Amino acid sequence: MIQAGKTGLDDFMSISDERPIGCPQTVIVEVTAKSGKLDLLDGMKRRFLNCPQVQQCYHVTGEADFILLINTRDMGEYTSLTRQLFFKEGNVKSFRTCVIMEEVKSVGPIPL
């Protein structure tokens, strides 16, 4: 429940360790679009936004168009997810997966 007057990020975050809920596989995915047409990119954004396994999504500059942080139960679930997100739905030229081997640091104070 969100209480009135609460605006801190910690008030909206409930899980920082995915293992207890059965989603220990974390991957970072670079996604490159086939087309830069705005309607197609917006469709990709909606697809990523509506996928519960996609924990974070960034539209970025550089060689890739999107960076995704994804949590799944295992590599089998991730493989199925790639078929849905990247092959079936379209406008994906390529994607590159980096599997997290060890979390060294994920949250820290932002220096002001």
pLDDT-based confidence at 15, cuts 50/70/90? very low
Q: Which secondary structure element, helix H or strand E, spans residue 75, and what is its range?
A: helix 75-82
E strands within 20-72?
25-33, 54-59, 66-72
The pLDDT, as a whole number, for residue 76 is 96
Topology at the third CATH level for domain 20-99: Alpha-Beta Plaits (3.30.70)
pLDDT-based confidence at 29, cuts 50/70/90? very high
Q: Give this prediction's pTM.
A: 0.77
Closest CA to 29 of 73, 59, 66: 66
Residue 73 has pLDDT above 90, yes or no: yes
pLDDT-based confidence at 105, cuts 50/70/90? confident
